[in-house]
Homo-oligomer: A and B are copies of this chain.
């Protein structure tokens, strides 16, 4: 079972943006940006595991994350370097803003 991890250049901009335009997924991205690698199950998202799996798939297929299989777990990490290279400022802009989202 191959994981679908496209080249970032081949992902339409709109797909990248759409992947980021969701609260749950933004939570995931924020968590990933704060650390290195996380097992899928470690995210506190307030949704079922089916839904979590769905969102991780969306992120992966939008080229935002990579997934490493290890035993029964899967470890996810942000493709930050590639993202920053192809969309300089995007991730920073989104993350800075989202962590400070409770401001007026």
Q: Tell me how many chains of this kind the complex includes.
A: 2
Q: A3 an interface residue at 8 Å Cβ cutoff? A: no
Cβ of B17 and Cβ of A21 under 8 Å apart?
A: yes
Q: How far is the CA of A26 from the CA of B101 in the complex (A)?
A: 24
> A17: which B residues are within 8 A, CB to CB?
17-18, 20-21, 94
> Binding site of A, secondary structure by majority: helix, strand, loop or mixed?
helix
Cβ of B18 and Cβ of A23 under 8 Å apart?
A: no
- Given A14-B26, A89-B89, verify A103-B9 contact (CB < 8 Å): yes
Cβ of A14 and Cβ of B22 under 8 Å apart?
A: yes
Q: List 7 A-B contacts (CB under 8 A).
A: A10-B104, A12-B101, A13-B97, A17-B21, A21-B21, A86-B97, A89-B93
